[in-house]
Structure 1
Amino acid sequence: MNTPNGFTGSDDAHPGKLLTVDVQPHPRGIPLVRLLGDVDLATAPLFQRAVEQQVAQRQRFVVDMDGVDFLSSAGLAVLVDVRQQMAEKDLKWAVVAARATVTRPLEITGLLTMLPIFDTVPAALDAVADPVAG
């Protein structure tokens, strides 16, 4: 279901576990896709839709996963898919992941070294920003 600021959904087996995906414009012109909650089989499609919108607009963007409490293989699959789509379009993107709830699954699967991972939003924005615009 859409909310005014993004997407929200829940896992029917755990109705209290929600994922909020909020796409925020950033003053540097780079959309910031913030995730809050669990990224699992039930909620990964919300994440997928938000990033697909950015890819469809040929946008550079940053995914902030510091609010993610749980990251399942479904969420990892979204990240792998985004990586492939962005590479095909030759677009920059970055992921903010400093919490173990996100970095541990990325490390175990080998994605930590394959994805553009940064510890902070400013570092991720710097990596994605157009060098001319700063």
Structure 2
Amino acid sequence: MTAVEKPTHALPVVPPLCSTRRTPEGTPVVSVEGEIDAASATELTTAVAAAVDGAAAGFCVLDLSAVTFLNAAGLAALVSVAGHGERHGLPVRVVVDSNRRVIRPIEVTGLDRSLALFHTVEEALRAHG
């Protein structure tokens, strides 16, 4: 009987795409890091929906400033979470900073006219309406 050899290299640990925190006022802030594509769009949608569903009132902030890639599946996820927020009376404010990898696909598709876009989390938190 021979022993099964174990691989000498470890599999890479993939950090979660999204993390959620709440401000002292209770506003959920979902921060996203990495690529938003077909493989990760569901994680984004689930995280934002959970944040919206768990919020008492106001709005939800979605911080995309650390996103490195956004494709059609990611754009569809943004439309989905914005709609979910609106249906629940908690608009989703999207932070894009000056991240061209995020801003460009949003502008090309015209979503900049329907999404509430902000440069910073602080600006999104302070905005009225």
TM-score scaled by structure 1?
A: 0.76
Task: For structure 1, list consecutive stretches of 5 or more residues without a partner in the other structure.
Answer: 1-14
How many residues matched? Answer: 115
Partner of 2:109: 109
RMSD: 2.1
- Secondary structure of 2:26's counterpart equals coil
Residues 28, 52 of structure 2: 8 Å contact kept = no
**1:17, CA displacement in angstroms?**
7.9
Greater fraction of residues in strand: 1
Alignment equivalent of 1:21, drawn from 18, 24, 27:
18
Residues 68, 101 of structure 2: 8 Å contact kept = yes
In 2 relative to 1, CA 44–18 (structure 1 residues): closer, same or farther, beyond 3 Å? farther
Between 1:88-97 and 1:74-83, the stretch displaced more is 88-97
Counterpart-to-counterpart distance in 2, 1:58 and 1:100: 30
Alignment equivalent of 2:43, drawn from 46, 49, 52:
46
Identity across aligned pairs (percent)? 36
Partner of 2:123: 123
Residues 49, 84 of structure 2: 8 Å contact kept = no
Amino acid at match of 2:96: A
Counterpart-to-counterpart distance in 2, 1:18 and 1:41: 17
